[in-house]
Chain A
């Protein structure tokens, strides 16, 4: 799981989108489908490993929070993507997931409005064992 920082690289960006979730290999949408035209720059490393993490139960938390940006459109977020670098062309996708208002991995309190301040309070990945049988 710690390899997510390797996937993110040193200049990772967070993109917040609306509409249908696109495949990882597809370039992110532009215009009114994108909350922030240039993405939100993440720290280096992008994630911090918690002290309670073990090989079987690793917690990685987005570094440098709260991350803020000024919205360039008005929309309801439905998904997000983290890219290695500042370009979301589908070839630099490190991770993506669902977002929403009251739902999703990245849970917004309210929709996004033009020129509003987007604030990402936290984003955490926790890996654990899934025992079956």
Chain B
């Protein structure tokens, strides 16, 4: 049996981000959300990483569409993004945001 030789590539790297201004509540516990003051579509608004749907829009629609799959379809994202968006909106509301 002949040897079949292929190539494999191992990639490893390490990075960090120190300091900075995070939102209140912070996004650290919401890996599927993101925010930028210079976002070309939704500047200064927390959005989902897939679909770029605004958290406040999702929270508003959640009262009208009590189904995460339907909400996800409307906002072109996933049910897990919807869950994080609603959780974030809820925590922000507790802080009077």
| Residue on A nearest B19 in the bound complex, by CB | A116
The proximity string for A residues 108-133 relative to B, scoring 1 for CB distances below 8 Å and 0 otherwise, is 11111111111111111111111111
The interface size of chain A toward B, counting residues with CB under 8 Å, comes to: 52
Q: Contact check, B22 vs A114: say whether CB atoms are below 8 A apart.
A: yes
CB within 8 Å for A76 and B12 given contacts A19-B50, A116-B19, A133-B4: no
| Complex contacts, A97 vs chain B, CB 8 Å | 11
Listed stretches A5-13, A66-74, A85-93; interface member: A66-74
| Min CB gap B49→A, angstroms | 4
The proximity string for B residues 18-47 relative to A, scoring 1 for CB distances below 8 Å and 0 otherwise, is 111111001110111111111111110001
| Min CB gap A109→B, angstroms | 4
Q: Is the interface of B mostly helix, strand, loop or mixed?
A: loop
| Complex contacts, A110 vs chain B, CB 8 Å | 16-17, 28
| Complex contacts, A34 vs chain B, CB 8 Å | 36
| Min CB gap B63→A, angstroms | 25
Q: How far is the CA of A125 from the CA of B26 in the complex (A)?
A: 33
Q: List 15 A-B contacts (CB under 8 A).
A: A74-B22, A74-B36, A106-B13, A106-B14, A108-B16, A109-B17, A111-B27, A113-B22, A113-B27, A119-B15, A123-B13, A124-B13, A125-B11, A132-B4, A133-B1
Residues of A within 8 A of B (CB): 1, 16, 18-20, 30-34, 37, 62, 71-78, 97, 99, 101, 105-133
Residues of B within 8 A of A (CB): 1-23, 26-28, 30-43, 47, 49-50, 52
